Amino acid sequence: MADSAQKTELTQETTQAHVGHGQDAHVEINPMEISGQMVIWTWVLFAITLGALYKVAWKPILSALDKREEEIQKSIDNAEVLRQEMAELEAVKAKQLAESDEKSKKILEKARQGAHEQAHLIEEKARDEAAILTENAHREIETSQALAEDALRIKSAAWARKLAGKLIDENLDDEKNRALTDKLIAEL
């Protein structure tokens, strides 16, 4: 550093000597040379540029980033709300599905019970009808049997009368025949 300070002094002396003599000499400026005035101007220009960038670029960029951050947060919140709503809808759907499954099972069970009861009723009705038909058949048989017995008695009585008439050789009149027949029928 001491060397660069000495060089700076030499350059300044040379520049003053040339200017002082009234010569139009060309002064060479070394860009690697650090001068106090240059440092101050650099800092002033940096501060002005920084202020301009702060007003023109930095604030809009920060506000855009803040706005984007808010939008992302809103999207995250909305996604969370939607996820919760979907979970609630899934729970409601599962509940309704279970309820409808339970209802369908109850309906099927009622239908089975109804069919079983209906079959039982039909079976009972068929038994009752069969019992009635059987009873009616027994009555008809008894009635037919009674009629057949009566017819048989009448024929038997008629044959008995003929036989008795032939055996007795006596011809009875119709009134006596009827009285005798009635008496024989009553005895049979």
110 inside domain? no
Domain extent, residue 26, equals 1-32
What is the rounded average pLDDT for all residues in the chain? 80
- Cα–Cα dist 39/42, whole Å: 5
Please state the pTM of the whole predicted model: 0.36
**Residue 157 CB coordination number (10 Å):** 20
Is residue 177 domain-resident?
Answer: yes
Please name the residues in contact with 185: beta carbons below 8 A apart, sequence gap of 6 or more: 153, 154, 157
The band of 62, judged by pLDDT with boundaries at 50, 70 and 90, is confident
pLDDT of 90 strictly over 90: yes
pLDDT at 92: 94
- Exposure letters 126-144 (e unless 16+ CB within 10 A, then b): eeeeeeeeeeeeeeeeeee
Q: Is residue 158 situated within a structural domain?
A: yes
Burial 26-42 (b: 16+ CB within 10 A, else e): eeeeeeeeeeeeeeeee
Mean pLDDT of 135-150: 88
| Torsion sign across C-alpha atoms 10, 15, 18, 22 | negative
Mean pLDDT of 94-99: 92
What digits encode the pLDDT tens for the residues 99-108? 999 999 999 9
Q: Is residue 13 part of a domain?
A: yes
Q: Could you read off the pLDDT of 148-160 as tens digits, one per residue?
A: 888 888 887 777 7
* Helix and strand numbers, DSSP H then E, in the chain: 4, 0
Residue 136 lies in a domain: no
Total number of domains constituting the chain: 2
63 part of a folded domain: no
d(CA 89, CA 83): 10
